[in-house]
Amino acid sequence: MGVIVVGIEVKDLLSIHDLSSNEINDILDLAKTLKTQLKNGEQHHLLKGKTLGMIFQKASTRTRVSFEVGMWQLGGAALFLNANDMQIGRGEPVKDTARVLSRYVDGIMIRTFSHDEVIELAQFATIPVINALTDLMHPCQALTDIFTVLEHKGRLQGLKMVYIGDGNNMVNSLLQACAKVGMDISIATPKGYEPDAAVVAEALTAAAVTGSKIVLCEDPLEAAKDADVLYTDVWASMGKEIEQEDRREVFVNYQINQSVMDAAKKDAIVLHCLPAHRGEEITEEVLESKQSVVFDQAENRLHVQKAIMVLLMGK
C-alpha cells in the first residue's frame, strides 16, 4: 500500500482551532493508512533521516513512548530533552531555544505548562512545533479521540460526545475537535470549572459552519442522555495536585458510573485519556467493561501522532 502525503497548510500544530476540517480529515486518513501498514508489517519510512526534539516540562508515559516509537517507525530519530537538563530550565529565553534547535533538528514536540510558551516557541522556530500538551490545550490527544470514535462508530458527524468532569485542557481541545468535524458535544462540569470561555466561543463559531451542537451544563445525567460517546479525565490535572482533596468534594458527583451509562445509548463507548483514577472520575466496572475502548484510544496516540509528524515534517 503506497502513501500519498500532501501535507497541510499550517506550519505547526498548536491548537485544533488552527486546522481546517479538511486538514483534520487528512490527519485521520493518514493515521488509518499508517496503522494498517504497521499491522501488515509494511515499512513506511516517510521521515527517514529526520529528527524530532522532544521537550518535556511535564511527566509522561504515553506521549514520550508514542512519539519516540513513532519516529523510529517512520525511519527517523527522537531526542528526549528534559527541560531540567536544558538551558531553558535555567532561564534561557524560549526564543533562543527555538532558534538553536531549529539548526539541529527537523521538528520540535513540547509538553509543558504555559500555552504562551508554545506559541513563542513556534513563532521563533523555523521548523514545525507540535503541542503535546499545555495547561490550555491537548490537540494530539483530541485528534486521537475522534480517530478512535471513527474506528468504532464508522462516522463522526451527528454523533453525540459527552464529557463529564473538569473543564481542563482536554475538554478545550475536544470542543474544538467536535465542532470542526460536526460532532455534537455536551459538557457537564461543576460551577466554576467550566471550559475556557474563549475556546467555547471559537468552538461555537466552528459549530455554526458544521452543524455541531454544543451544550454546557452542570448535571452529568442530563448531559449523558442519548450519548454515543462518554468521556472523562482526572479531577485534578498535573499542576493542580495541591487542590486534590478539595476537588474530591467538588467533583464527587462527576463520575462515569453505571447510572451514567444507563442514561447513554446502549452501544455508547467510553473514552479516557489516562491515567485513570478508578473510583474517582470513573468506576472500575465501567473502565473494564466491554464498552470501554480506552486502550484502543491509548494505542491510537501512536498512529495519529505519526500522521501529524509526517504531514508537518514531511513537507
Residue 17 a catalytic site member: no
**C-alpha grid cell, residue 41:** 508489517
Distance CA 136, CA 116 (A): 9
Choose, from 17, 44, 62, 138, the residue flagged as catalytic.
138
Choosing from 115, 272, 301, 303, the catalytic residue is 301
Instruction: Name the grid cell of 104.
Output: 539541529
How far is it, in rounded angstroms, from Cα 108 to Cα 103? Answer: 11
Asked if 62 is an active-site residue, the reply is no
DSSP 46: T
273 is catalytic: yes
Catalytic hit among 17, 111, 272, 303: 111
Hey, what's the cell of 207?
459549530
| Candidates 44, 62, 233, 255; catalytic one | 233
β-strand 129-131 against 160-164: which pairing, if any?
unpaired
Please confirm, yes or no, whether 111 is among the known catalytic residues. yes
No. of helices (H) and no. of strands (E), the chain: 12, 9
Q: Which of 57, 73, 141, 305 is catalytic?
A: 141
Distance CA 152, CA 278 (A): 24
Check if 301 is active-site: yes
Measured CA to CA, the distance from residue 237 to residue 191 in angstroms comes to 17
Kindly state the helix (H) or strand (E) to which residue 39 belongs, with its residue range.
helix 21-39
Spot the catalytic one: 17, 26, 135, 273: 273
Q: What distance separates the 2 farthest-apart alpha carbons in the chain?
A: 55
Distance in angstroms between the alpha carbons of the first and the last residue of the chain: 20
Strand ranges inside the chain, DSSP E: 51-56, 77-82, 107-111, 129-131, 160-164, 184-188, 214-217, 229-232, 269-272
Active site residue ranges? 111, 138, 141, 233, 273, 301
